[in-house]
């Protein structure tokens, strides 16, 4: 399968994001070899800062892939940024509306087309005071179970040190380090053979986010807490 061509808007975003992320923080990437060079893949990540998509986009693009994020549809209404995300074929998420299911359909189509989809199952930046993942939405399990593509857990740490949304703090100095670590594909063979119901979706969601949490613990060199912060579940 030929590699996806990013086009003008992806090229423009890369021209801005590469120097911006390098200026704000050092990078340390681990496990990039797990991201396939071609074909569909679902990357499941934690979410600690509004800067996450910028660093995650650069990480994926450096692997030679074009990232396709599930992002809040309100971004499409932001001047300039809305044009970029639309031109770069990102996937708008409509929560609590009649268009909510369309978000997942677009993500399903992207995986079927052999694209790389990045999802933050928590749905928003974590409310855990220590930055550990929250209980997540089950849409990630639907995507993971219904497509025969690598499902890659990944964690990234350091972006909240740069910009902490809840404390309204942007701290570029002293220069920080952002670490991204990708694990090997999660084997979901046994789960895909079972009837799909809410219990299975919750089980797979927690399995995937458990892998993400373990990777985050390795990056932070800390013991991860049991379970997940009780964020809003859907």
Q: Is the pLDDT of residue 28 over 60?
A: yes
Torsion of CA 194, 197, 117, 21, to 10 degrees: -120
Examine residue 174 and say whether the peptide bond preceding it is cis (omega within 30 degrees of 0). Answer: yes
pLDDT band at 101 (very low <50, low <70, confident <90, very high): low
pLDDT of residue 103: 66
The region, left, alpha or beta by phi > 0 then psi within -120 to 50, assigned to residue 123 is: left
pLDDT digits (tens, 9 = 90+) for 160-182: 999 999 999 999 999 999 999 99
| pLDDT > 70? residue 100 | no
Q: Which CATH architecture has domain 7-220?
A: 3-Layer(aba) Sandwich (3.40)
What is the predicted pLDDT for the residue at 194?
A: 94
Task: Report d(CA 94, CA 72) in Å as an integer.
Answer: 7
- How far the first Cα of the chain sits from its last, in Å, is 35
Q: How many CA atoms lie within 13 A of 14 on its CB side?
A: 17
**Does the pLDDT at position 148 exceed 80?**
yes
Write the DSSP symbol of residue 229.
B
DSSP state of 81: H
Give the pLDDT of residue 84.
75
**Annotated domain spans of the chain:** 7-220
Whether the Cβ atoms of residue 100 and residue 120 lie closer than 8 Å to each other: no
pTM listed for this prediction: 0.92
């Amino acid at each position: 399968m030929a590699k996806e061509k990013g086009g003008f808007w992806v090229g423009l975003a890369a021209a801005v994001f590469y120097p911006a992320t390098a200026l704000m923080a050092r990078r340390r990437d681990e496990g990039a070899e797990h991201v396939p060079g071609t074909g569909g893949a679902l990357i499941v990540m934690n979410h600690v800062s509004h800067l996450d998509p910028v660093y995650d986009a650069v990480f994926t693009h450096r692997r030679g892939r074009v990232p396709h994020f599930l992002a809040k549809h309100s971004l499409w209404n932001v001047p300039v940024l809305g044009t970029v995300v639309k031109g770069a074929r990102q996937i708008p998420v409509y929560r609590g509306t009649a268009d909510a299911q369309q978000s997942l359909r677009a993500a399903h189509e992207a995986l079927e087309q052999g694209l790389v989809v990045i999802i933050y199952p928590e749905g928003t930046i974590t409310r855990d005071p220590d930055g550990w993942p929250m209980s997540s939405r089950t849409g990630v399990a639907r995507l993971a179970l219904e497509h025969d593509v690598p499902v890659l857990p990944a964690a990234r740490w350091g972006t909240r040190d740069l910009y902490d949304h809840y404390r309204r703090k942007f701290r570029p100095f002293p220069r920080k380090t952002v670490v991204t670590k990708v694990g090997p594909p999660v084997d979901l063979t046994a789960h895909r053979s079972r009837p799909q119901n809410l219990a299975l979706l919750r089980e797979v969601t927690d399995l995937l986010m458990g892998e993400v949490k373990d990777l985050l613990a390795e990056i932070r060199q800390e013991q991860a807490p049991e379970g997940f912060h009780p964020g809003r579940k859907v």
